[in-house]
Amino acid sequence: MGFVVAWIMLAVLWLGLSGFTDPVHLVFGAVSVTLVSALSHRHLTGGGSVGRGMARLLRLALYMPWLLWQIAAANLDVMLRIFGVREIDPCVVRFKPDLESDFGRVTLANSITLTPGTVTVDITDDGEYIIHALTREAADAVLTRVMEAKARSVEGGSDA
């Protein structure tokens, strides 16, 4: 059932983004959607549970506007630092987040890296994150754990 739901979700997304409805494109789109669904339906539907997967997608959809705002604000900050309006003070910080699943850990790591001025350099075997930040303020923002709390709300139940 998870494969079918993933296939339908991806097919609708593909059709909406491509806009192609001629037979050749529809066949190639169907083949592509089938391959991607076969490889990733467990991740897209929460390990086969359709309800859990849909809840995860809803939580992720609610998370995205907040993340986009963080990315926009960090872009402005980095731009001001590049133009010399603000100082650059690079640093590396380490912390160990309290996340239950691989999905939550990857969401946090990617969110940190997507936010300009911070990069997840490594995640150690014991779950500690090593973050490079362009400024002490950016490092402190990661250490306040607001983004971690948001990632925890996205992760939902444990599926490590």
Same domain, 74 and 122: yes
Same domain, 37 and 104: no
59-117 pLDDT per residue, tens:
888 999 999 999 999 999 999 999 999 999 999 999 999 998 888 899 999 999 999 99
Asked if the structure places residue 108 within a domain, the reply is: yes
Closest by Cα among 109, 114, 6 to 57: 6
Domain range enclosing 30: 2-44
Domain total of the chain = 2
Strand stretches in 3-126, DSSP E: 91-95, 118-123
Same domain, 9 and 54: no
Same domain, 142 and 71: yes
User: What does pTM read for this prediction?
Assistant: 0.73
Q: Which residue has the tokens 């939550």?
A: 104
Please, what is the end-to-end C-alpha distance for the chain in angstroms?
A: 21
Same domain, 17 and 85: no
